[in-house]
Structure 1
Amino acid sequence: MQNIDDEFYERADQHIQLSNQQITEAIGRGKVSASMLYATSRFNAWVSATGWNTGEELGNAKEETIEYFLTEYRKMLEENLDDYIENFEEYMFIPPESEIINE
């Protein structure tokens, strides 16, 4: 991944906030997630295309480009899953066992 600038996480949080706002009973998390994933791939295809002068050049770089984005996505997903595993109760608002009242 490129160097992370000061606004990196703020921009990411803005995208997450938009996705959270789109979640309704009719449009669940899965549909919103699929839309966000599609938008990310579409945007990254455009960003990649801006680096070339012809479609042929872009085509020649296709596999390398795909590999780059897959590698970066995997690293980010692993990092975020590890974070959720470590902080599951806090992030998912589950009280510690010591606070659960057994009836």
Structure 2
Amino acid sequence: MQEVDEEFYDRADTHIHLSNDQINEKVGMGKVSASNMYATARFNAWVSACGWQSGQEMAEAKEETLEYFVAEYRKMLEDNLNDYIDNFESYMQVNKNA
């Protein structure tokens, strides 16, 4: 992952808080997660489009763009999975006496 600026985690936390607020009796974690992934994909498609002068240029870079975003997401997901594995009891508030 690239070096992060001072507000990187604050921006991420804002999205996490919004997602947590959207979870309720009718909409579970899975649906909120799917909406998040769609929003991220849609936003990143727009970010990518901003770097090109035409759809043809964008199409020519499509595979490279996909490889970049998938690799970055994989690294971030792996880092966060490892963090939850290492801190499962405290993050998930598991009662060791249960």
TM-score band w.r.t. shorter chain:
over 0.9
| 1:26 is aligned to 2:26 | yes
Where does 1:1-103 land on structure 2 (aligned, <5 Å)?
Answer: 1-95=1-95, 97=96, 100=97
Amino acid at match of 1:25: E
C-alpha separation in 1, matches of 2:2 and 2:49: 18
Amino acid at match of 1:92: M
Amino acid at match of 2:74: R
C-alpha separation in 1, matches of 2:2 and 2:66: 16
Gaps of 5+ in 2: none
- Cα RMSD (Å): 0.9
Q: Which has the larger radius of gyration?
A: 1
Give the aligned length: 98
Q: CA deviation at 1:25?
A: 1.0
Q: CA deviation at 1:2?
A: 3.1
TM-score by length of 1: 0.92
Q: CA deviation at 1:50?
A: 0.1
Post-superposition CA distance 1:11-69 (Å, at most 9, x none): 00000000000000100000000000000000000000000000000000000000000
Consecutive aligned runs of 4 or more in structure 1 exceeding 3 Å deviation? none
